[in-house]
């Protein structure tokens, strides 16, 4: 009995070992072929699979992706000292954190001839003046998504944050609304509605925002960062505070599954948050030239358009416009016009005392009622 | 203990306890000490990391040590409320797990031997699928238009109670918690119940004990170690869980797990996150110590 | 006795139903021709086709299986030893060491281990670091369940063996091990499911360019829930079941969840 058990255990280990060696030999094959591997730290589904294939063919290398679900996860991991990624695609404030930490490699603009493709209004922002480190990749807007039929039926406004903050509207959609489970995003929406900047850190204004949120909270179903996409498309939710690319997804899903309603989304007239994601090169990466090559590849209008067509993200690349599906390019919530664009604001990092204050306020918001 | 075996005993003792001890000292205690140290530091200006002290940094005195996170924790009733709330959720989940798991474990333990393996496997198998996708399945079941919701509200309205929403509620959180941790209650219970000698029950029956008496005076006291460890394995992880309240919870469902996660992945306040975790670990150890102490006499009386 | 069994059976049946109803949804929707896990549209295998064309996902599944097998193997051995030691030697600090990792929020353990690996050990992150991390948080679970099995057991049988001149090793192999085997196997199963599912600790301790399943799925779900995840979950369950069945067929002693009498 003991012998046969020992043999089974051995067998298990051996087969595991075989699998491991099988894996390493695969890597050796790549090494033997002299193939380089470019490591990209990215959101999942934030580059079209087709684009990956084309890039791999053009550079005779392999693109290996690691994923994060949130900027903060990526920052925390890097902050602890994780290394080895050539490229990262952080959002504005996370990128500014990385710049301040001094972990990014300045771009060699001579290697990026088609940087001129980027719309100047997305260049030279406060996070990276002169774009020393970053090349805009894509953007999303935080806005309101809604079930069009229901909203019309109930006679509710769709162009204002009042839809998620005013009890007179909320009482008609009680329990069918979610807001983002994000301290900064929800505060930004509330501050915008109150007429302040999304980055306002004035204690009194925060208290005002807190009261506004607490007054509306009983009508909300939940704080949700992900599930609203599906719940909107299914019809369980009627209004959701969320990201434009998620709303695009929800609208598409609702359409594909033949729902009797349409999911629509719009940017509130009080203004909203713009999240610009950029390509940056991390210092610990070992292939800076290849990273530049990738950026150049992604700056190409056709490649850049693939992402927008896939995910409905905003595109800062002017030469991509002609390759983007017309219904996306015509959507004001994804490609806001000049006038609307000026009312968008990017979120800036708070300092550590402000962060602690906000965290406490957030706990209070979750825990208490007015 | 046999006298002449004393030395051998000592060798065996360290052979048995040595490896896990060393492993945990290296891979658990050392990292924990790092975090203990972190709790005494200031959060970094960009990204809440308080970098581990390096000699040069220490020499510059750039980051001093502070007790401010502890001060913050104890000076604000808010955090105590979150703790209290989490303990209530954890106790409720544990109790429901116990009520659901006990008959199941007992049934498996009393089934024919050839079915037992299969029955235990059936308990564990769902947990080879992805955790999040199972929680999302619960979203479907508890959703406002689901069959289950309609059924519950149908029953409620028959009694004249206003309809309830199941999803995004404390109820959904408890359901999710129970679902995720049920096997952790079943397995220890089963491994304990399985070793009971059926002769004891027969003897009790011969003495005229009815089914309930046999359970209450024989099976239950004997199973207490299993009940205890199952409860520990459910109660403790529930306290740190954040995904279930995130996905299934409503606007008020914040537990310690969420609070701690927020400190690391939101506020970037590692020192305060560490402090909260230390407080949680201390509270948990205190509770387990207390319940071990309470459970002890019961397991000894068995003999 | 009979009547009691009926109560027991129905209570247990309810518990099984509770465990399996969500699972049925997971499996059924993996064959559903709709991107939304919402209602039945029509039968399709396209999610499985998509899955098998997704090299990254397959590699991730293989990596995670290896990690789960190795981590649960190490955790089971170390955890069983800890459980035995806790029961027999009454070391005061051992229970604290065993309970604390279970109590420690995973995010903290993840960050702490990452700091430790990188800044103290100067380790290159990879499968190895994930296996160590998973072993660390699984040990406690195994130890607690093994101790529960041993508690209240008659010590005299160990003494009898020693009196008969059996060496500690022989006593262990012939008496202790068979006695604790169900708990050991249960602990191994528990570690396996913990390891295959853990996102937070895995995220922090994984290396560059090595996809692992929980991270793959978690980040994917954050974008949109796709039935591909249902498909991979279904396959993983099948695979686990097959692995267990094969192991049992090879040696019926491997998976002994009942006391050998």
Average pLDDT over residues A132-141: 95
Q: Over the stretch C211-230, which tens digit does the pLDDT of each residue have? A: 998 888 888 887 777 888 88
A266 has which bridge partners?
A144
Nearest to A37 among C63, C173, C209 (CB): C209
User: What percent of chain A stands above pLDDT 70?
Assistant: 91
What class is the A140-273+348-367 domain? alpha beta
Q: Are strands A344-345 and A272-281 parallel, antiparallel or unpaired?
A: parallel
Cross-chain residue pair B264–A76, CB shorter than 8 Å: yes
Task: Write the ipTM.
Answer: 0.87
Question: Which pLDDT value is given to residue A215?
Answer: 96
User: Which band of pLDDT confidence, cut at 50, 70 and 90, is reported for residue A197?
Assistant: very high
Chain B partners within 8 Å of A369 (Cβ): 252
Which range, of A214-228, B164-178, C74-88, C166-180, averages the lowest pLDDT?
Answer: C166-180
**Total structural domains within chain B:** 1
Cross-chain residue pair A236–B136, CB shorter than 8 Å: no
Is the confidence at residue A264, as pLDDT, over 70? yes
Average pLDDT over residues C93-101: 85
Name the closest residue on chain A to residue B136, using Cα atoms: A227
The residue that leads in pLDDT, B112 or A246, is: A246
Question: Which pLDDT value is given to residue A326?
Answer: 93
Chain A partners within 8 Å of B273 (Cβ): none
User: Which band of pLDDT confidence, cut at 50, 70 and 90, is reported for residue A1?
Assistant: very low
Cross-chain residue pair B240–C141, CB shorter than 8 Å: no
Which range, of A34-38, A138-142, B272-276, averages the lowest pLDDT?
Answer: A34-38
When scoring C39, C212, C214, C219 by the number of chain A Cβ atoms within 10 A, the one with the most, hence best to mutate, is C219
Question: Which pLDDT value is given to residue B225?
Answer: 86
Q: How far apart are CA C210 and CA C227, in angstroms?
A: 23
By three-state DSSP, how is residue C1 classified?
Answer: coil
Name the closest residue on chain B to residue A217, using Cα atoms: B251
Q: Over the stretch A152-191, which tens digit does the pLDDT of each residue have? A: 999 999 999 999 999 999 999 999 999 999 999 999 999 9
Contact between residue B96 and residue C8 where contact means Cβ atoms under 8 Å apart: no
Chain B partners within 8 Å of C182 (Cβ): 190-191, 194-195
Question: Which pLDDT value is given to residue A6?
Answer: 47
Question: Which pLDDT value is given to residue A141?
Answer: 96
Q: How big is the A-C interface in CB pairs under 8 Å? A: 116
In a domain, B8, yes or no: no
Question: Which pLDDT value is given to residue B1?
Answer: 43
Cross-chain residue pair C253–A84, CB shorter than 8 Å: no
Look at residues C108, A363, A213 and name the one whose alpha carbon lies nearest to residue B254: A363
Chain C partners within 8 Å of B260 (Cβ): 105, 107-108
Average pLDDT over residues A91-116: 92
User: Which band of pLDDT confidence, cut at 50, 70 and 90, is reported for residue A227?
Assistant: confident
Cross-chain residue pair C34–A73, CB shorter than 8 Å: no
Chain B partners within 8 Å of A79 (Cβ): 44, 47-49
Average predicted confidence (pLDDT) for chain A: 89
Cross-chain residue pair C97–B132, CB shorter than 8 Å: no
Q: Over the stretch A41-70, which tens digit does the pLDDT of each residue have? A: 999 889 999 999 999 999 889 999 999 988
In a domain, B6, yes or no: no
Subunits with 3+ C-beta pairs closer than 8 A to B? A, C
**Total structural domains within chain C:** 1
- Domain A37-137+277-334 and domain A140-273+348-367, same fold? Reply is yes
In a domain, B18, yes or no: no
CATH number for the region A37-137+277-334 comes to 3.40.190.10
When scoring C173, C224, C256 by the number of chain A Cβ atoms within 10 A, the one with the most, hence best to mutate, is C224
Nearest to C69 among A12, A43, A230 (CB): A12
Chain A partners within 8 Å of C38 (Cβ): 230, 233-234, 257
Cross-chain residue pair B103–C8, CB shorter than 8 Å: yes
Contact between residue B223 and residue A193 where contact means Cβ atoms under 8 Å apart: no
- Which runs of E-coded beta strand occur in chain A? 36-43, 61-68, 87-88, 134-147, 177-179, 222-223, 239-243, 263-266, 272-281, 344-345
Residues of A with CB under 8 A from a CB of B: 70, 72-73, 75-76, 79-80, 97, 100-101, 175, 181-183, 217-218, 220-223, 225-227, 231, 234-236, 349, 351-352, 355-356, 358-360, 362-364, 366-367, 369
Reading the block at residue A332, the tokens are: 């004001």
Q: What are phi and psi of B144, to 5 degrees?
A: -60, -25
User: Which band of pLDDT confidence, cut at 50, 70 and 90, is reported for residue A346?
Assistant: very high
Is the confidence at residue A19, as pLDDT, over 60? no
Is the confidence at residue C258, as pLDDT, over 80? no
Q: Closest Cα of chain B to C53: distance in Å?
A: 20
In a domain, C185, yes or no: yes
Question: Which pLDDT value is given to residue B86?
Answer: 93
Is B264 in CB contact (< 8 Å) with chain C? yes
Is C131 in CB contact (< 8 Å) with chain B? no
Residues of B with CB under 8 A from a CB of A: 42-49, 72, 76, 78-79, 81-82, 85, 136, 139, 143-145, 165, 167-168, 246-247, 249-254, 258-259, 262-269, 272
CATH number, domain with residue B217: 1.10.3720.10
Average pLDDT over residues A107-118: 93
When scoring C36, C169, C204 by the number of chain A Cβ atoms within 10 A, the one with the most, hence best to mutate, is C36
Q: How far apart are CA B170 and CA A28, in angstroms?
A: 52
User: Which band of pLDDT confidence, cut at 50, 70 and 90, is reported for residue C1?
Assistant: very low
CA dihedral C151, C156, C157, C162 (to 10 degrees): 120
By three-state DSSP, how is residue C208 classified?
Answer: coil
Question: Which pLDDT value is given to residue A29?
Answer: 47
Average pLDDT over residues A271-284: 95
Task: Centre a 10 Å sphere on the Cβ of residue B10 and count the other Cβ atoms it contains.
Answer: 11
Three-state SS sequence of chain B: CCHHHHHHHHHHHHHHHHHHHHHHHHHHHHHHHHHHHHCCCCCCCCCCCCCCCCHHHHHHCCCCCCCHHHHHHHHCHHHHHHHHHHHHHHHHHHHHHHHHHHHHHHHHHHCCHHHHHHHHHHHHHHHHCCHHHHHHHHHHHHCCCCHHHHHHHHHHHHCCCCCCCCCCCHHHHHHHHHHHHHHHHHHHHHHHHCCCCHHHHHHHHHCCCCHHHHHHHHHHHHHHHHHHHHHHHHHHHHHHCCHHHHHHCCCCCCCHHHHHHHHHCCCCCHHHHHHHHHHHHHHHHHHHHHHHHHHHHHHHHCC
Name the closest residue on chain A to residue C250, using Cα atoms: A8
Question: Which pLDDT value is given to residue A8?
Answer: 58
Q: How far apart are CA A56 and CA A293, in angstroms?
A: 11
CATH number, domain with residue C114: 1.10.3720.10
When scoring A1, A2, A6, A8 by the number of chain C Cβ atoms within 10 A, the one with the most, hence best to mutate, is A8
Task: Centre a 10 Å sphere on the Cβ of residue B37 and count the other Cβ atoms it contains.
Answer: 15
Chain A partners within 8 Å of B244 (Cβ): none
Is C216 in CB contact (< 8 Å) with chain A? yes
Chain C partners within 8 Å of B113 (Cβ): 258
Reading the block at residue A337, the tokens are: 């016009």
Question: Domain limits at B200?
Answer: 68-301
Question: Domain limits at C139?
Answer: 60-250
Reading the block at residue B242, the tokens are: 């954040």
Buried-state track A192-206, b at ≥16 Cβ within 10 A, e below 16: bbbebebbbbeeebb
- Which runs of E-coded beta strand occur in A167-266? 177-179, 222-223, 239-243, 263-266
Question: Which pLDDT value is given to residue C132?
Answer: 93
Domain ranges of chain A: 37-137+277-334, 140-273+348-367
- Sequence-distant (≥ 6) Cβ neighbours of residue C78 within 8 angstroms: B19, B20, B23, C135, C139, C142
Chain C partners within 8 Å of A291 (Cβ): none
The residue that leads in pLDDT, C244 or C106, is: C106
Cross-chain residue pair A101–B263, CB shorter than 8 Å: no
A272 has which bridge partners?
A344
Q: Are strands A87-88 and A36-43 parallel, antiparallel or unpaired?
A: parallel
User: Which band of pLDDT confidence, cut at 50, 70 and 90, is reported for residue A146?
Assistant: very high
Question: Which pLDDT value is given to residue B15?
Answer: 84
In a domain, B39, yes or no: no
Average pLDDT over residues C164-189: 85
Is C225 in CB contact (< 8 Å) with chain A? yes
Nearest to B249 among A222, A351, A360 (CB): A222
Query: Which residues of chain B are under the pLDDT cut of 50?
Result: 1-4, 52, 299-303
When scoring A64, A73, A254 by the number of chain C Cβ atoms within 10 A, the one with the most, hence best to mutate, is A73
Chain B partners within 8 Å of C115 (Cβ): 31, 34, 52
Nearest to C224 among A70, A77, A249 (CB): A249
């Amino acid at each position: 009995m003991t012998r046969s058990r020992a043999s089974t255990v051995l067998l298990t280990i051996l087969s595991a070992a075989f699998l491991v060696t099988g894996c390493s030999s695969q890597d050796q094959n790549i090494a033997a072929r002299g193939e380089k591997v470019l490591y990209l730290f990215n959101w999942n589904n934030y580059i079209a699979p087709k684009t990956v294939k084309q890039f791999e063919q053009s550079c005779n290398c392999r693109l290996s992706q690691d994923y994060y679900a949130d900027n903060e996860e990526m920052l925390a991991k890097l902050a602890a000292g994780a290394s080895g990624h050539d490229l990262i695609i952080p959002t504005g404030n996370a990128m500014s954190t990385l710049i301040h930490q001094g972990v990014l490699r300045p771009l060699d603009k001579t290697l990026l001839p088609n940087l001129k493709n980027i719309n100047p209004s997305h260049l030279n922002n406060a996070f990276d003046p002169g774009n020393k480190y970053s090349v805009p990749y894509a953007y999303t807007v935080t806005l309101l998504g809604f079930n069009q039929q229901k909203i019309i039926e109930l006679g509710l406004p769709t162009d204002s944050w009042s839809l998620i903050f005013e009890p007179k509207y909320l009482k008609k959609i009680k329990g069918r609304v979610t807001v983002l489970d994000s301290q900064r995003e929800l505060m930004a929406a509330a501050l915008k509605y109150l007429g302040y900047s999304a980055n306002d850190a004035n204690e009194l204004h925060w208290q005002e925002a807190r009261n506004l949120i607490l007054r509306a909270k009983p009508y909300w179903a939940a704080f949700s960062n992900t599930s609203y996409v599906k719940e909107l498309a299914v019809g369980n939710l009627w209004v959701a505070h969320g990201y434009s690319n998620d709303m695009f997804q929800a609208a598409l899903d609702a359409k594909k599954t033949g729902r009797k309603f349409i999911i629509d989304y719009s940017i509130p007239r009080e203004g909203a948050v713009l999240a610009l994601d950029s390509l940056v090169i991390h210092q610990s990466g070992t292939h800076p030239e290849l990273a530049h090559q990738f950026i150049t590849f992604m700056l190409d209008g056709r490649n850049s358009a693939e992402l927008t067509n896939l995910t409905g993200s905003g595109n800062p690349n002017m030469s991509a416009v002609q390759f983007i599906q017309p219904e996306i390019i015509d959507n004001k919530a994804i490609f806001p016009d000049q006038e609307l664009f000026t009312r968008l604001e990017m979120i800036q990092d708070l300092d550590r005392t402000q962060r602690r204050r906000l965290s406490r306020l957030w706990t209070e918001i979750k825990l208490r009622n007015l | 203990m046999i006298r002449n075996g004393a030395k051998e005993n000592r060798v065996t003792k360290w052979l048995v306890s040595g490896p896990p001890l060393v492993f945990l000292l290296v891979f658990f205690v050392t990292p924990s000490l790092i975090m203990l140290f972190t709790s005494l530091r200031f959060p970094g200006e960009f990204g809440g990391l308080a970098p581990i002290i390096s000699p040069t940094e220490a020499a510059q005195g750039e980051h001093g040590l502070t007790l401010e996170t502890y001060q913050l924790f104890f000076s604000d009733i808010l955090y105590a409320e979150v703790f209290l709330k989490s303990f209530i959720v954890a106790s409720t989940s544990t109790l429901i797990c116990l009520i659901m798991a006990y008959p199941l474990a007992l049934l498996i333990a009393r089934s024919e031997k050839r079915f037992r393996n299969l029955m235990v496997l059936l308990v564990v198998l769902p947990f080879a699928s992805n955790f999040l996708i199972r929680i999302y399945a619960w979203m479907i079941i508890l959703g406002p238009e689901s069959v289950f919701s309609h059924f519950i509200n149908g029953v409620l309205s028959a009694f004249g109670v206003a309809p309830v929403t199941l999803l995004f509620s404390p109820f959904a959180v408890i359901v999710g918690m129970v679902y995720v941790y049920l096997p952790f209650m079943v397995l220890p219970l089963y491994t304990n119940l399985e070793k009971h000698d059926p002769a004891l029950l027969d003897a009790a029956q011969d003495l005229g004990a009815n089914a309930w008496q046999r359970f209450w005076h024989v099976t239950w006291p004997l199973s207490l170690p299993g009940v205890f460890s199952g409860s520990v394995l459910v109660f403790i992880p529930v306290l740190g869980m954040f995904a279930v309240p995130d996905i299934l919870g409503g606007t008020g469902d914040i537990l310690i797990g969420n609070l701690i996660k927020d400190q690391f992945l939101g506020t970037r306040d590692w020192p305060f996150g560490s402090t909260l975790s230390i407080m949680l670990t201390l509270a948990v150890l205190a509770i387990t110590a207390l319940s071990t102490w309470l459970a002890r006499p019961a397991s000894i009386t068995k003999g | 006795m009979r009547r009691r069994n009926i109560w027991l059976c129905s209570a247990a049946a309810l518990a099984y139903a509770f465990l399996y109803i969500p699972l049925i949804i997971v499996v059924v929707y993996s064959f559903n021709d709709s991107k939304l896990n919402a209602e039945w549209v029509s039968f399709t295998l396209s999610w499985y086709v998509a899955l098998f064309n997704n090299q990254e996902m397959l590699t991730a599944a293989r990596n995670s299986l290896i990690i789960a097998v190795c981590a649960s193997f190490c955790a089971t051995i170390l955890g069983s030893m800890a459980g035995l030691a806790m029961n027999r030697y009454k070391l005061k600090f051992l229970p604290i060491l065993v309970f604390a990792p279970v109590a420690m929020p995973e995010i903290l353990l993840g960050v702490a281990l990452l700091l430790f690996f990188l800044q103290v050990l100067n380790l290159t992150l990879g499968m190895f670091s994930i296996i160590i991390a998973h072993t660390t948080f699984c040990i406690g679970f195994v130890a607690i369940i093994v101790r529960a099995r041993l508690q209240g057991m008659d010590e005299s049988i160990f003494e009898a063996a020693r009196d008969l001149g059996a060496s500690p090793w022989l006593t262990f192999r012939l008496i202790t091990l068979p006695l604790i085997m169900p708990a050991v196997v249960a602990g191994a199963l528990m570690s396996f499911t913990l390891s295959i599912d853990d996102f937070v600790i895995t995220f922090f301790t994984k290396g560059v360019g090595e996809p692992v399943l929980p991270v793959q799925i978690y980040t994917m779900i954050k974008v949109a829930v796709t039935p591909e995840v249902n498909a991979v979950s279904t396959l993983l369950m099948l695979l686990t079941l097959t692995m267990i069945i094969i192991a049992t067929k090879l040696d019926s002693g491997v998976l002994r969840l009942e006391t050998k009498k």
